[in-house]
Structure 1
Amino acid sequence: MPSARELLDRVERHCRADHTATRLRQIVLADLRAAVPFDGHVFTLTDPVTRIGTSPVADLVGMRLARLPELIRLRYLTVATRWSDLLDRGTAATSLRIDTGGDPARSRVWREVLHELDVFDTATVVFGDRYGCWGFLELLRKSPRAFDPTQLTTLAALAAPITRGLRTALGRTFVAEEGELAPAGPAAVVLGPDLRMRGQTPAAAAALLRLNPPQEAMPPIPNSAYNAGAALLAAEHGVPVGPPWSRVHLGGARWLTVRADRLGTEDIAVSLAPSTLAERLDLFGRAHTLSTREAQVLGLLAAGLESPHMASDLGIPEHTANDHVKAILAKSGVRTRQELLSRALGIV
């Protein structure tokens, strides 16, 4: 079994490598299993602004896929160990047994789902920084053995490097790939109050299937749609996580925005449409750690302004505007303004 220091060193090396977000999570989970044993896991990316889940890597200890909407709905409605609440209170990691004072029955998701799966304890780690919330990890144990404080300290120490690794991996998705995929069109599904699908638009099936991991034998409804719907329900129940929308990478330079809203008194409409330029620019800036001023400059570059006009709009000297552009190029790993805008805007 590796020591906490050895584990941290290994994870930091993984997070500095050029892994995709999915591969990084898989490697980290493999290392974690040897140091902090667990029986199941949910390692989910989140939109950095809304904190809504998008793309999971999960093994739910034998749970039937038909119960997935129920689990997601209850996870958003349960404040105990919820990733957004950990972030709000400045706690990197906690466990179900600790957060409920030793009484997991105080957690609704445990009472109604996890208890039936013989889950004894869970440990949750949140990955957030000044640029947003990039994901969370939940480890599940079926054996009657709780996560101890030493293990939670080990998990908390991993939060900072994993946060950087996930954010950097997301930034690399803005690099155009060879053989770009066709643009994604708008689609929509209708979910009931239990988040089960009631209907979809004709264009939805193909678009939704693209959002599911290809190895998953799941109905063609992505977790991002369930999560957006669950976020809407959480807000309506007075326990909000964030606005019910998220941006999801669809491959190549494509990003979709998934958004939930009420359709009548019971149903929830979830729309999936190509992310707007503003949504892409915001995500690009956060992933590449742009300052507030640098993000403003990037927006003006995307609007077609040259340095003199940017300087005038921002009320700064032209040489300062050029310095900001140079800083953006350096952080984005590109040499020219054209290449920068190609990546940020998804123009091939």
Structure 2
Amino acid sequence: MSSYARERAHERINALARHGLDLVTFWQEASEIITPVIPHFGGACWYTLDPASLLITSHYNELMPELPPEWLALEYYEDDVNKLADVARSPRGASTLHEVTGGDPSSSPRWQANMELGGDQELIAGLRTLSGDIWGGLGLYREPGSPLFGAEEIEFIRGAAPTLGEGARRALLFGEASDPEGPEAPGLLILSSDWELETATPGVERWISDLPDGDWDTGRLPSAVLSVAGQALRSAESPGAPGEVAVARVLSSSGMWVVLHGATLVSAGVRRVAVIVEPAHPARIAPLLMAAYGLTEREQDVTRLVLQGESTTSIAQRLVISAHTVQQHLKSIFEKTGVRSRRDLVGTIFFSHYEPRVRDNEARAVAAKPLRGKPLSG
């Protein structure tokens, strides 16, 4: 594959991320672009991750509607290499199973499971946006006897990863706003480049009227909405980039903190901007942990970092506490969650709250419904 072809593929992915597609369509069209550049076996495996915990919230592979339970058990309970969250949070953000095993993956339970499905090689990449948040991952596979994934192919995916992550983030936001789930579901506004309101989802008027200087009845949009829309449009002035999602946090008239997300949409040369309004939550995992296990605020912080794969030393540095204090918090967390180790903690939280969402999203994909990016609370 020539360097021109790879550059052209990057341009097409950049354009794709600006179209405001639903997540499944975005993955499907991204797969069509990537496949000629990086030939692979069995279809691309796409994942969304909860940025707060780096646990999987959805999986999509057009040739595999359901992720095998054994794969999830290996991912969260087995001591192995090339795991999705580990690769995603690594500085490089991409690796192959052959690389991390020195060319001999035969002792890896992950490789053994892949071989049962016909895949010898595995390339994993994290989808980290330019802002640093990890919103997804990608797995590509090759049959025995195929050429190894090369340096140029890995670099291609690394270069595309921020845009793919941005596209996934937008698709999740649009999906949650267009198909509300619960009373505090986000609201969605679509504005023209002339700042005229084109469309809005049902119920968005309550968000607009509650923002300072907003009046839905008279058609006056809050200055915060116009500001975040302007930021989004300015960030996408370059024709070759999708632009970043602009974010603003605003105190509403009723005293609730609200978050606004602005993202440009480009279709048939027409540029618009989507503004999504939702209540400001702490990291999504936090209220879930508090309700399910009664963890204190500091215990929630420690748990979130354990889920992300941080070491005791790293947790201590991040939270500005001693390693001994981290261990004391872990002891309390283990008692409250009924586990005996970090690995058990990760597995318990995933299979209790995230695996049900993965299965729900698989059903949603089949039914052509928007996928969700947060764990289930029940």
**1:88 corresponds to which residue?**
89
Residues 63-92 of structure 1, C-alpha deviation per residue, up to 9 Å, x if partnerless?
9x6x81111111233542222112332122
- Which structure has more relative contact order (CA 8 Å, sep 6+)? It is 2
**1:271 corresponds to which residue?**
none
Change (3 A) 1:168 1:181: closer
Is 1:165 equivalent to 2:167 in the alignment?
A: yes
Alpha-carbon distance, 1:288 to partner: 5.1
User: Which secondary structure state, in structure 1, belongs to the residue aligned with residue 126 of structure 2?
Assistant: strand
- Tell me if structure 1 keeps the 8 A contact 2:89–2:126: no
Is 1:290 equivalent to 2:247 in the alignment?
A: yes
Change (3 A) 1:342 1:160: closer
- Tell me if structure 1 keeps the 8 A contact 2:247–2:260: no
Residues 207-250 of structure 1, C-alpha deviation per residue, up to 9 Å, x if partnerless?
xxxxxxxxxxxxxxxxxxxxxxxxxxxxxxxxxxxxxxxxxxxx
Q: Please, what TM-score do these two structures have when normalized by structure 2? A: 0.48
**1:340 corresponds to which residue?**
277
Residues 38-77 of structure 1, C-alpha deviation per residue, up to 9 Å, x if partnerless?
012311111121111122112568x9x6x81111111233
- Tell me if structure 2 keeps the 8 A contact 1:81–1:124: yes
**2:376 corresponds to which residue?**
none
What residue identity is the alignment partner of 1:290? V
Change (3 A) 1:37 1:14: same
**1:72 corresponds to which residue?**
72
Alignment partners' CA distance in 1, 2:274 and 2:165: 23
Alignment partners' CA distance in 2, 1:78 and 1:30: 34
**2:52 corresponds to which residue?**
49
What residue identity is the alignment partner of 1:116? E
Alignment partners' CA distance in 1, 2:132 and 2:92: 17
User: Which secondary structure state, in structure 2, belongs to the residue aligned with residue 80 of structure 1?
Assistant: coil
Is 1:115 equivalent to 2:119 in the alignment?
A: no
Alignment partners' CA distance in 1, 2:144 and 2:255: 60
Alignment partners' CA distance in 2, 1:114 and 1:158: 25
Count of aligned pairs between the two proteins: 209
What residue identity is the alignment partner of 2:94? A
What residue identity is the alignment partner of 2:247? L
Alpha-carbon distance, 1:169 to partner: 1.5
Alpha-carbon distance, 1:132 to partner: 2.7
Aligned CA-pair RMSD: 3.6
**1:125 corresponds to which residue?**
125
User: Which secondary structure state, in structure 2, belongs to the residue aligned with residue 290 of structure 1?
Assistant: strand
Alpha-carbon distance, 1:143 to partner: 3.7
Alignment partners' CA distance in 1, 2:182 and 2:168: 26
What residue identity is the alignment partner of 2:174? R
- Tell me if structure 2 keeps the 8 A contact 1:175–1:343: no
User: Which secondary structure state, in structure 1, belongs to the residue aligned with residue 60 of structure 2?
Assistant: strand
Q: Which runs of 5+ in 2 are unaligned?
A: 184-201, 204-243, 264-272, 282-378
2:16 aligned to 14, 17, 23, which one?
14
Q: Which runs of 5+ in 1 are unaligned?
A: 184-251, 254-286, 311-324
Residues 124-162 of structure 1, C-alpha deviation per residue, up to 9 Å, x if partnerless?
110124463211000011141211111111111111111
**Aligned ranges for residues 183-194 of structure 1 at < 5 Å?**
none
2:158 aligned to 148, 156, 159, which one?
156
Alignment partners' CA distance in 2, 1:341 and 1:119: 41
Alignment partners' CA distance in 2, 1:70 and 1:123: 19
**1:305 corresponds to which residue?**
255
Runs (4 or more) in structure 1 with deviation over 4 Å come to 180-183, 332-335, 341-344
Q: Please, what TM-score do these two structures have when normalized by structure 1? A: 0.52
Change (3 A) 1:79 1:15: farther
Alignment partners' CA distance in 2, 1:94 and 1:170: 26
**Aligned ranges for residues 257-272 of structure 1 at < 5 Å?**
none
What residue identity is the alignment partner of 1:7? A
Change (3 A) 1:53 1:341: closer
Change (3 A) 1:343 1:89: closer
Change (3 A) 1:43 1:94: same
Residues 99-126 of structure 1, C-alpha deviation per residue, up to 9 Å, x if partnerless?
1110112422112x11223322011110
**1:147 corresponds to which residue?**
149
Alpha-carbon distance, 1:176 to partner: 3.8
Alignment partners' CA distance in 2, 1:20 and 1:80: 32
What residue identity is the alignment partner of 2:86? D
Alignment partners' CA distance in 2, 1:159 and 1:5: 14
- Tell me if structure 1 keeps the 8 A contact 2:51–2:133: yes
